[in-house]
């Protein structure tokens, strides 16, 4: 039986006539790594602050529950949460030891216990206590400050840790390393993580489940594979990874396949897509699910469009081929790099080529809310 | 040609030279209007008193010795006490105001202008206005009489209390502004972090806000204490003739008493004292932690 540690039930928050969070509902299970992902201004940080207690829902704005109990009226320090801020928010006038020990002091932990608990928390975030306890925040690098901020929250052994874009200010390499460490901490400590980020790759890499937010609402909620491989709206399909979009009218639908037409091209779409005949639908296809063929050499049963190669971009792991479709729309195809020195791809700028993909790789999108 | 090249080489080796050029007007101003007068005062303080004012040639430490007589030490002690009292009162009254302004998002500019507003009129005029408030038939006494709190006017004017009120009134903005400036810089996220870590409002104030505003408190205290120490208008108008402060003493030596050397010696002693206090204040061991 999974325990619902955090639960939002139709929560809304309005700032001066602007809905920052609009009827959002979700639940987070114990020990889960749950991410709120979205562009800036989508309401993800406000959602986190509603859980933390720095914001309260509107009067008719639903319920925030922690461990099953309504906490709308509780102050942050009455919620038993840890929080890590994007700016780290270390106390500049206190050394590392007194920063990490701050929460313990507030709880009235005996003075003689504090140093050992601080040292333990620092070791948890891989900072050597002997080196760091007496340093001031101004003497730390960005990554070290991040770790101190994390230790300061973890020392109180919270059941839930809220993280607001904690890695946003770190360089790429350090960010990747911290992602792994955070994930490892989430596993080893059994603490529930609620993580806010605008970085889709980060969310995919770390999360058990992701809530993609757009315009104050949840656009889609699911595990990383569901979000990436089965995006429900055009927003999700374009915000997480790249997508090529097609629009067309449903010609006929049967159990196996849906025929979608647009001008002279026809696409087959998986039959379980629940669309009635005559409706206009949008379809998304990931660039890496497409392949390039000589015009006329497309395998039987696959969808295809013809275009002209506009650009070939060498990215190391992959090669992106940008096409200009005959109807003028751009199209991106990502090919796996199988060694351009030994076995170069045959497509050059200006070449006529067909981009093809299998019907089951089409995602039929719902309208954006 | 050759000397020109040498000049260029000489300036090239001194990249800070243009900086000194920019400093020159300011340095010249300070030299003429600050350093020279102080040297003059220092010179006067060891010369003999002229019968009709001014000084006569001669070398003596008599004026310094005289300053340390009980009569004058009492004046100095009273001055220190009142200045300290005014500083403490300004801090107690000013800190909450500064905090309120820093927290007020919308009215901040208006409130700041209100704090500065008194500076738009002369300090002298404002001190005279205090007389109308504090005298026996003044606003305060009449209000208390009308309310029936007292049946006789109480003596407010020409008391140490009046001087204290005058000093606090005069220097309160100088306390509020630097404290506001440092409070305004305190990141709200720090308070949220403290709250998330379990700090109640009291703890947030004493463990986060207050320590981070200490640079402003120090600046405000110095800006209040130092001018209070040297003030003479307030004690002259509100304190009456009995309650002399060191500023009055020095002023009278240069005017009515016509004892320039003694006035100079007293001025230098007070200056040395202020310098010692400021240095001691700024070299406290915890200062590093506060500003760092």
Q: Are residues A116 and A151 located together in one domain of the fold?
A: yes
- Flag whether pLDDT at A225 surpasses 70: yes
Q: Which of B187, B197, B292 sits opposite A106 (nearest CB)?
A: B197
Cα–Cα distance measured from residue A34 to residue A47, given in angstroms and rounded to the nearest whole number: 13
ipTM score: 0.84
Instruction: Answer yes or no: do A250 and A223 share one domain.
Output: no
Question: Which residue out of B182, B195, B196 would a mutagenesis test of the A interface target, given it has the greatest number of A Cβ atoms within 10 Å?
Answer: B196
Question: Do A52 and A155 share a domain, yes or no?
Answer: yes
Question: pLDDT (tens digit, 9 = 90+) per residue, A234-250?
Answer: 999 999 988 998 888 87
Q: What is the CATH number of the domain that holds A256?
A: 2.40.50.100
Residues B60, B51: Cα–Cα separation, whole Å = 16
Model pTM? 0.82
Residue B208's closest chain A neighbor by CA?
A91
Q: What do you get for the CA distance between the two ends of chain B, in Å?
A: 51
A126 and A180 share a domain?
yes
Q: Which residues of chain B have pLDDT under 50?
A: 287-292
Per-residue confidence (pLDDT) for residue A283, from 0 to 100: 86
- Last residue of one domain, picked from the residues A233, A267, A292: A233
pLDDT at A260: 72
Decide: A137 and A99 in contact? Cβ < 8 Å.
yes
Same domain, A64 and A178: yes
How many CB contacts within 8 angstroms connect chain A with chain B?
61
Banded model confidence at residue A369, pLDDT cuts 50, 70, 90: low
Q: Do residues A265 and A351 share a domain? A: yes
Token look-up 């009449």 returns B142
Residue A323 tokens, joined: 């096409």
- Sequence-distant contacts of B95-98: CB under 8 A, at least 24 apart: B95/B175, B95/B179, B95/B217, B97/B176, B98/B175, B98/B176, B98/B177, B98/B179, B98/B180, B98/B183, B98/B213, B98/B216
Name every chain B residue with its beta carbon within 8 A of the beta carbon of A161: none
Residues of chain B with C-beta less than 8 angstroms from the C-beta of A81: 196
The half-sphere exposure of B40 on its side-chain side, counting CA atoms within 13 A, is 10
Residues A277, A208: one domain? no
Selecting from A81, A85, A136 the residue whose C-beta is nearest the C-beta of B189 gives: A85
Domain end call among A211, A233, A255: A233
Give mean pLDDT, residues A211-223: 96
Between chains, do A83 and B193 touch, taking CB under 8 Å as contact? Answer: yes
Identify the domain boundary among A200, A233, A266: A233
Ranges A26-40, A118-132, A253-267: which has the least confidence: A253-267
Q: Using CA atoms, how far apart are residues A178 and B179, in angstroms rounded to an integer?
A: 39
Which residues neighbour B230 within 8 Å (Cβ) at sequence distance 6 or greater? B246, B247, B270, B274
Domain that holds residue A305: 242-365
Q: Which superfamily is assigned to B69-291 in CATH?
A: MetI-like (1.10.3720.10)
Chain B residues in contact with A89 by the CB 8 A cut-off are: 187, 189-190, 192-193
Distance from the Cα of A307 to chain B's closest Cα (Å) equals: 52
Q: Are residues A194 and A78 in the same domain?
A: yes
Q: What ranges do the domains of chain B cover?
A: 69-291
Q: Which residues pair with A284 in a beta bridge?
A: A245, A363
Kindly report, residue by residue over A253-288, the tens digit of the pLDDT.
Answer: 665 667 677 666 777 887 665 666 677 788 899 999
Q: Which residue has the tokens 């820093």?
A: B102
Q: Domain holding A9: CATH number?
A: 3.40.50.300
- Which residue from A minimizes the CA distance to B214? A93
* Same structural domain, A266 and A357: yes
Average pLDDT over residues A294-311: 89
* Whether residue A170 is found in the same domain as residue A43: yes
Task: Identify whether residues A286 and A137 lie together within a single domain.
Answer: no
* Whether A54 contacts chain B with CB within 8 A: yes
Partner A contacted by B196 (CB < 8 A): yes
- And the tokens for A113? 């216990």
More confident residue, A308 or B10: A308
Confidence at residue A122, expressed as pLDDT on a 0 to 100 scale:
96
């Amino acid at each position: 039986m999974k325990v619902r540690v955090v639960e939002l039930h139709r929560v809304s928050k309005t700032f001066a006539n602007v809905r920052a969070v609009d009827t959002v509902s979700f639940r987070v299970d114990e020990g889960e790594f749950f991410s709120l992902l979205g562009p800036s201004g989508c309401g993800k940080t406000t959602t986190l602050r509603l859980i933390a207690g720095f914001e309260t829902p509107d009067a008719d704005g639903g319920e925030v529950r922690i461990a099953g109990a309504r906490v709308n009226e509780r102050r942050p320090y009455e919620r038993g949460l840890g929080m890590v801020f994007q700016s780290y928010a270390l106390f500049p006038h206190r050394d590392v030891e007194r920063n990490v020990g701050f929460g313990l002091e507030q709880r009235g932990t005996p003075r003689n216990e504090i140093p050992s608990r601080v040292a333990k928390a620092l070791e948890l975030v891989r900072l050597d206590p002997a080196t760091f306890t007496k340093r001031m925040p101004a003497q730390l690098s960005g990554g070290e400050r991040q770790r101190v901020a994390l230790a300061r929250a973890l020392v109180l052994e919270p059941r839930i840790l809220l993280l607001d874009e904690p890695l946003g200010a770190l360089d790429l390499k350090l960010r990747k390393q911290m992602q792994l460490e955070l994930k490892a901490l989430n596993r080893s400590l059994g603490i529930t993580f609620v993580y806010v980020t605008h970085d889709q790759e980060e969310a995919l890499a770390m999360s058990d489940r992701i809530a993609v937010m757009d315009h104050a609402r949840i656009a889609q909620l699911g595990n990383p594979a569901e979000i990436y491989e089965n995006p429900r709206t055009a927003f999700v399909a374009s915000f997480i990874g790249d997508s090529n979009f097609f629009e067309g009218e449903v010609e006929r639908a049967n159990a196996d396949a849906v025929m979608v037409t647009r001008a002279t091209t026809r696409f087959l779409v998986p039959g379980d897509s629940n669309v009635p005949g005559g409706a206009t639908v949008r379809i998304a296809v990931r660039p890496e699910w497409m392949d390039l063929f000589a015009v006329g050499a497309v395998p039987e049963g696959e969808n295809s469009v013809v275009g002209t190669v506009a650009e070939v971009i060498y990215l190391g792991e992959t090669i992106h081929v940008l096409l200009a479709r005959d109807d003028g729309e751009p199209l991106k195809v990502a090919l796996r790099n199988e060694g351009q020195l030994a076995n170069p791809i045959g497509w050059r700028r200006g070449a006529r080529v067909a981009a093809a993909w299998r019907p089951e790789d089409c995602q039929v999108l719902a309208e954006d809310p | 040609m050759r000397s020109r090249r040498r000049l260029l080489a000489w300036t090239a080796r001194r990249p800070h030279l243009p900086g000194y050029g920019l400093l020159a007007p300011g340095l010249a101003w300070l030299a003429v209007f600050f350093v020279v007068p102080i040297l003059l005062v220092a010179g006067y303080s060891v010369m003999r008193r002229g019968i009709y004012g001014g000084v006569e040639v001669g070398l003596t430490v008599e004026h310094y010795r005289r300053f340390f007589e009980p009569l004058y030490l009492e004046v100095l002690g009273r001055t220190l006490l009142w200045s300290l009292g005014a500083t403490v009162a300004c801090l107690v009254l000013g800190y909450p105001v500064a905090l309120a302004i820093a927290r007020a998002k919308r009215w901040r500019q208006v409130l700041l202008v209100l704090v500065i507003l008194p500076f738009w009129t002369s300090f002298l005029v404002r001190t005279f206005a205090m007389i109308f408030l504090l005298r026996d038939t003044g606003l305060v006494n009449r209000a208390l009489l009308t309310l029936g709190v007292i049946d006789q006017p109480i003596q407010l004017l020409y008391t140490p209390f009046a001087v204290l009120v005058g000093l606090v009134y005069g220097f309160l903005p100088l306390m509020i502004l630097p404290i506001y400036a440092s409070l305004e810089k305190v990141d709200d996220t720090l308070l949220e972090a403290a709250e998330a870590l379990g700090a109640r409002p009291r703890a947030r104030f004493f463990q986060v806000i207050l320590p981070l505003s200490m640079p402003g408190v120090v600046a405000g205290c110095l800006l209040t204490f130092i001018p209070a120490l040297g003030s003479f208008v307030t004690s002259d108008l509100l304190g009456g003739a009995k309650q002399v402060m060191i500023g009055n003493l020095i002023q009278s030596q240069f005017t009515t008493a016509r004892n320039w050397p003694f006035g100079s010696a007293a001025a230098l002693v007070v200056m040395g004292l202020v310098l010692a206090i400021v240095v001691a204040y700024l070299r406290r061991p915890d200062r590093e932690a506060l500003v760092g």
